[in-house]
Amino acid sequence: MKKLVTISREYGSGGRIIGAILAEKLGVPMYDKEIIDMAVEQSGLSREIIETAELRARNNFSYTLSSTFSFSEGIGTDTMSMNDKLFLTQFDVIAQIGNLGEGVIVGRCADYVLRDLKDVTNVFVHARMDDRIERCINVYGDERDKVKEKIKSYDKARRNYYNYHTSQKWGDYSNYDIAINTSYIDEETAAELIAWYISKRNGNH
């Protein structure tokens, strides 16, 4: 049974928490910040620039504009923008994880990167704004007076980053096998549902 899962999520929906619980249930590694560690090691780029790659897409116009410019490196000419270079760095890491055949990968367009692999389960986690606000305050420790704008900002960055690099639509049901609304179930139950789906999906092959 292949245990390879990608989790895309709205900010504050609990997607990362679900990923951690699911990885434990499946007995596989979880990859979130670990992808950054691997990308830093393999590329030699700074941790800060890799960590903030997605957030720079909050302004879609400036992100798209900066992606049209290339830069020179060393003797040869590199025709790839820094944004594309950062995306491909993480792309390569996720592809390596996919080749291992197991793991729970959170974010970073992983569903797109692994789209040609068979038996990958792609999940999208979302929730109502009020519930996301409460989770951000009570679980993530965000400030109440700033949290709604933070949610909108992170969602916008993820949407722009995903749409730009994949030519697909972030949150579109056709990109995922399961969409879970965590306004109505807790993270433990959500992880159980995904694990159940994987067992049924593989059992029907």
CA distances 89 to 105, 138, 152, 185, Å, are 15, 34, 26, 35
pLDDT digits (tens, 9 = 90+) for 143-197: 999 999 999 999 999 999 999 899 899 999 999 999 999 999 999 999 999 999 9
pLDDT tens profile 36-49 = 888 888 888 788 88
Q: pTM of the entire structure? A: 0.85
User: Which two three-digit tokens encode residue 42?
Assistant: 């393999």
Cβ-based neighbours of 74, under 8 Å, separated by 6 or more: none
